Chain A
Amino acid sequence: MAASETILSVKDLRVRFRTLDGAVEAVKGINIHVKSGETVAVVGESGSGKSQTMMAAMSLLASNGEASGAVDYRGRNLLALSKSELNKVRGRKISMIFQEPMTSLDPLYSIGNQLIEPIRRHRGLNAAEAREEALKLLRLVQIPDPERRMKSYPHEMSGGQRQRVMIAMALANDPDILIADEPTTALDVTIQAQILMLLAELQRKLGMAIVFITHDLGIVRRFADRVYVMRYGEVVEEGEAEAIFANPQHAYTKMLLAAEPTGTKAPPPPNAPVLLEGRNVEVTFKIGGGFLAGEPLLLRAVDRISIRLKRNQTIGIVGESGSGKSTLGRALLRLLPSDGVIRLGDRDISSADRQAMRPLRRELQLVFQDPFGSLSPRMTIGQVITEGLLVHEPALSGKQRDQRAVEALREVGLDPNARNRYPHEFSGGQRQRIAIARAMILKPKVVVLDEPTSALDRSVQKQIVELLRKLQADHELSYLFISHDLAVVRAMADYIIVMKQGKIVEEGPTEAIFSDPQAAYTQTLMNAAIDVTRFRLSA
């Protein structure tokens, strides 16, 4: 790569947003350069300014944002170009793919229409020629049956396929630079791996430079030649990828590298009592049907699954989206109607109605994935976490409840003085602690954790994992830990169930599953998530 020329250089770039609380500086004078054909990763956690840097370079900032400094592309400052000049570079020389495959394509136009448009615009081809090009591109990104797919609409395709179409659109005019902003974050791990491999292969074929914006160090390690580490709008460290991974200099980089959750959980003693048991649990959803509309479609989301959760055990339920793992968790808590037998301790709750479940809810708590949506924005966190006490311990006085809130907040590592503040004043990690405090205040026996760390930055994830482990040790809790993230599951669970399409494909003790996966699907999952071999071995 040494001989290649620098084609893009970001010089002293600053990005400011005017907000109601005054100007916020998201990017504080950073310098980044990209050479032809290389892969550069810009790494950072949420709020580091890594996306805004590239948005500013492409003049895609929100209307209240403004950029200063310079973004030189082959001798021209993109920030100073007129809109029509800029539109000859965007999508032609520099193109971009985004994090949200579900919403980044226009839902109202067919794939073909959307592919043809930039080709015609930038290359002046006629409709028939552009159509041929579009077909070629769909083949290039390995979309099966491209002729038919040209007529498809985005909603008729999966997330992975949509991201392939996005890549095809971005590569349509043979760009110099492809900016990929978290292109695989919203995808399942196996699809992630496919998309990354596709990008690596396309880069080998077409030779464009790739700027990878990501929070995922796994991707960086496998993909990048050079790395910029960003925090709070500044580049804190830069260098060759291998050097940074082998010998990080800045404390923040070290922290990021150490942020992968580590450790394992020992299984409970063999004579530990079974707290929650499901036998042949089945959940079926009806789709459609109704007055004059014919028979509904039946979808079996959970298909005869049996599970035994012992005291002080953590069962990790692993699977990709649509595998039925969350549905299973909800069915076991009797939050969804299901068939089969569910037992809590020695009590059969298979047919317990809402009324009968209410006193038992205290022992069965749930923590959700989304720390932003799962706390009522109109209640103080003190009210949020003590609400359950009103139901389960109505005899408590206001003062006693407040005392319990203080204890619960302290236990999850939050300042108890914060209990009169509202959820929006807290960060994602803090909110997840609040959600955990809300479950813990009732002193439950079983907690279902539904992707509790998935919406959080890695460094925060690690803290939450440690908190959950400490709470488990202190209170002999049993967890049902639902996650698609194998690294976190490995650190949390002593037993793993792998689900696919509502069925168990494999189960067993964590180390056995990780060291010797039997089912082909488990192996695919492992390879996609854990394998650290590089996709691309550049010179």
Chain B
Amino acid sequence: MLRYVFRRLLTAIPTLFVIVTTAFFLIRVAPGGPFNQERGLSPEIKANLDAQFGLGDPLWLQYVHYLGNLLRGNFGPSYNMPDFTVGELFAKGLPISVQLGASALILALLLGSVLGTIAALNQNKLADYSVIALATAGSTIPTFVIAPVIQLLFGLTWKLLPIGGWGDGALINKIGPVLTLALPQIAIVARLMRGSMIESLRSHHIRTARALGLSDWSVVVKHALRGAILPIVSFTGPAAAALLTGSVIVETIFSIPGVGRHFVVAALNRDYTLVMGTVVVIALFTIIFNLIVDLMYAVVDPRVRYD
């Protein structure tokens, strides 16, 4: 098992290298640069800035410098927020995004699994149709609609929640954004769970469990659910990587200082280092969570062995 983890981490290195290289050159292909703003800097100042950040060097040299810095854990300075390095921006924003994303993910997994299971056990009955309707609504209504509705109802009308802001991480400030993030995920998990649970309930070993006179609880929870959970486990990998690295919509609407905004803003501003930093962070999260998912598989299913 350890050998497997080691091997996976080893193969992550070339993967990361390819991602970093591709992203580095792709963003440079886009026209403009960090200091080509519309109001226009005087050529002297721009030349100075370019020289300070090495943007005048040939591209390959910039690439080599960037890689060298990255290997030493240095993401470089942000071009558009000169008071911060990219590292500092992530140190500040990432914990916030991870908190929100993780809460939303856990909520979605729990609630989605329960709803999906209830639907599967009542296939083609009222409870099933209700869950399907809810799931369809959850996955079709966009977050930029859900978020303002939550603000309007819970914040303005009922005054139960603050309308926005991080409030230094007070619980009450997290409820709105977590709900908004979780709703579409709940819908996806519920649908996945319903499908795989229906299939699991039809399998031969469930028939065996029933024929042995085991209780409904044991048949459903111990035998059917554990088998049905595998597709959810697979889904959790990419979902975690996406949720934990922040959402630009939720962070913007609820005025939350996470890292989700950086990616979009940085890309628009050609803030090369910040874009690259975000790419590296998302890639790392994806690789790590996919590894965790594969290890989880071996925990849930004894047929999966890595050695």
Complex interface residues of chain B between 2 and 59 (CB less than 8 A to chain A):
7, 10-11
Q: Are B303 and A98 in contact (CB under 8 A)?
A: no
Residues of B within 8 A of A62 (CB): 202
Q: Are A60 and B210 in contact (CB under 8 A)?
A: yes
Interface centre among A87, A108, A291 (most CB of B within 10 A): A108
A121-B214, A153-B302, A153-B303 as given contacts; A106 in contact with B7, CB under 8 Å: no
Q: Are A106 and B213 in contact (CB under 8 A)?
A: no
Residues of A within 8 A of B227 (CB): 106-108
Complex interface residues of chain A between 147 and 186 (CB less than 8 A to chain B):
153, 155, 166, 169-170
Q: Residue B212 contacts which of A63, A155, A169 (CB distance < 8 angstroms)?
A: A169
**A95 near B: Cβ within 8 Å?**
yes
Q: Residue A98 contacts which of B7, B208, B214, B226 (CB distance < 8 angstroms)?
A: B208
Q: Are B211 and A95 in contact (CB under 8 A)?
A: yes
Q: Residue A91 contacts which of B10, B202, B205, B214 (CB distance < 8 angstroms)?
A: B214
Give CA–CA (A83, B218) in the complex, Å: 14
Q: Are A106 and B209 in contact (CB under 8 A)?
A: yes
Taken residue by residue from 120 to 146, chain A's Cβ proximity to chain B (1 for < 8 Å, 0 otherwise) reads as 011000000000000000000000000
Taking the nearest CB of chain A, how far is it from the CB of B65, in angstroms? 31
Taking the nearest CB of chain A, how far is it from the CB of B301, in angstroms? 6
Q: Are B204 and A117 in contact (CB under 8 A)?
A: no
Taking the nearest CB of chain A, how far is it from the CB of B202, in angstroms? 8
A60-B210, A106-B223, A108-B301 as given contacts; A121 in contact with B205, CB under 8 Å: no
Q: Are A104 and B302 in contact (CB under 8 A)?
A: no
Complex interface residues of chain B between 213 and 239 (CB less than 8 A to chain A):
213-216, 218, 222-223, 226-227
Taking the nearest CB of chain A, how far is it from the CB of B18, in angstroms? 16
**B123 near A: Cβ within 8 Å?**
yes
A108-B301, A155-B303 as given contacts; A118 in contact with B214, CB under 8 Å: yes
**A92 near B: Cβ within 8 Å?**
yes
Q: Are B218 and A91 in contact (CB under 8 A)?
A: no
Q: Residue B213 contacts which of A90, A108, A291 (CB distance < 8 angstroms)?
A: A90
**B160 near A: Cβ within 8 Å?**
no
Give CA–CA (A155, B302) in the complex, Å: 9
Residues of B within 8 A of A169 (CB): 208, 212
Taking the nearest CB of chain A, how far is it from the CB of B307, in angstroms? 9
Residues of A within 8 A of B204 (CB): 98, 100, 103-104
Give CA–CA (A431, B205) in the complex, Å: 30
Interface centre among B7, B211, B215, B226 (most CB of A within 10 A): B211
**A254 near B: Cβ within 8 Å?**
no
**A89 near B: Cβ within 8 Å?**
yes
**B141 near A: Cβ within 8 Å?**
no
Interface centre among B208, B209, B223 (most CB of A within 10 A): B208
Q: Are B212 and A98 in contact (CB under 8 A)?
A: no
**A88 near B: Cβ within 8 Å?**
yes
Q: Which chain A residue has the least Cβ–Cβ distance from B201?
A: A63
Q: Which chain B residue has the least Cβ–Cβ distance from A103?
A: B204
Give CA–CA (A170, B209) in the complex, Å: 10
Taking the nearest CB of chain B, how far is it from the CB of A201, in angstroms? 22
Taken residue by residue from 81 to 102, chain A's Cβ proximity to chain B (1 for < 8 Å, 0 otherwise) reads as 0010011111110011010100
Residues of B within 8 A of A291 (CB): 11
Q: Are A121 and B215 in contact (CB under 8 A)?
A: yes
Q: Are B302 and A107 in contact (CB under 8 A)?
A: yes
Interface size class of B (residues with CB under 8 A): 20 to 34
Q: Which chain B residue has the least Cβ–Cβ distance from A64?
A: B124
**B300 near A: Cβ within 8 Å?**
yes
Q: Residue B205 contacts which of A95, A96, A107 (CB distance < 8 angstroms)?
A: A107
Residues of B within 8 A of A437 (CB): none
**B130 near A: Cβ within 8 Å?**
no
Q: Are B208 and A107 in contact (CB under 8 A)?
A: no
Q: Are A91 and B203 in contact (CB under 8 A)?
A: no
Complex interface residues of chain A between 235 and 291 (CB less than 8 A to chain B):
291
Q: Are B10 and A95 in contact (CB under 8 A)?
A: no
Give CA–CA (A107, B223) in the complex, Å: 9
**A105 near B: Cβ within 8 Å?**
yes
Q: Residue A104 contacts which of B202, B207, B218, B303 (CB distance < 8 angstroms)?
A: B207
Q: Are A91 and B216 in contact (CB under 8 A)?
A: no
Give CA–CA (A291, B213) in the complex, Å: 48
Taking the nearest CB of chain B, how far is it from the CB of A158, in angstroms? 15
**A292 near B: Cβ within 8 Å?**
yes
Q: Are A103 and B210 in contact (CB under 8 A)?
A: no
Residues of A within 8 A of B205 (CB): 103-107
Complex interface residues of chain B between 254 and 307 (CB less than 8 A to chain A):
300-303
Residues of B within 8 A of A118 (CB): 212-214
Give CA–CA (A100, B216) in the complex, Å: 23
Q: Are A117 and B218 in contact (CB under 8 A)?
A: yes
Q: Which chain A residue has the least Cβ–Cβ distance from B211?
A: A96
Residues of A within 8 A of B210 (CB): 58-60, 90
Q: Are A166 and B208 in contact (CB under 8 A)?
A: yes
Give CA–CA (A353, B4) in the complex, Å: 38
Residues of B within 8 A of A166 (CB): 208
Q: Residue B208 contacts which of A92, A104, A122 (CB distance < 8 angstroms)?
A: A104
Q: Which chain A residue has the least Cβ–Cβ distance from B303?
A: A155
Q: Residue A63 contacts which of B10, B123, B300 (CB distance < 8 angstroms)?
A: B123
Q: Residue A60 contacts which of B10, B203, B211, B218 (CB distance < 8 angstroms)?
A: B211
Residues of B within 8 A of A109 (CB): 222-223
Give CA–CA (A104, B222) in the complex, Å: 15
- A–B pairs, 27, beta carbons within 8 Å: A58-B210, A59-B210, A60-B207, A60-B210, A63-B123, A86-B213, A90-B210, A90-B211, A91-B211, A91-B214, A92-B213, A104-B204, A104-B208, A105-B205, A106-B209, A107-B227, A108-B223, A108-B226, A108-B300, A108-B301, A117-B218, A118-B214, A121-B212, A121-B215, A153-B302, A169-B208, A169-B212
Ranked 8 nearest A-B pairs via Cβ: A91-B213, A91-B212, A90-B213, A103-B204, A87-B213, A106-B205, A96-B211, A118-B212
Q: Which residues of A contact B (CB under 8 A)?
A: 58-60, 62-63, 83, 86-92, 95-96, 98, 100, 103-110, 117-118, 121-122, 153, 155, 166, 169-170, 291-293
Q: 12 other contacts beyond A90-B213, A103-B203, A153-B303, with CB at 8 A cut-off?
A: A59-B210, A60-B210, A87-B214, A90-B210, A91-B212, A106-B205, A108-B223, A118-B212, A122-B213, A169-B212, A292-B7, A292-B10
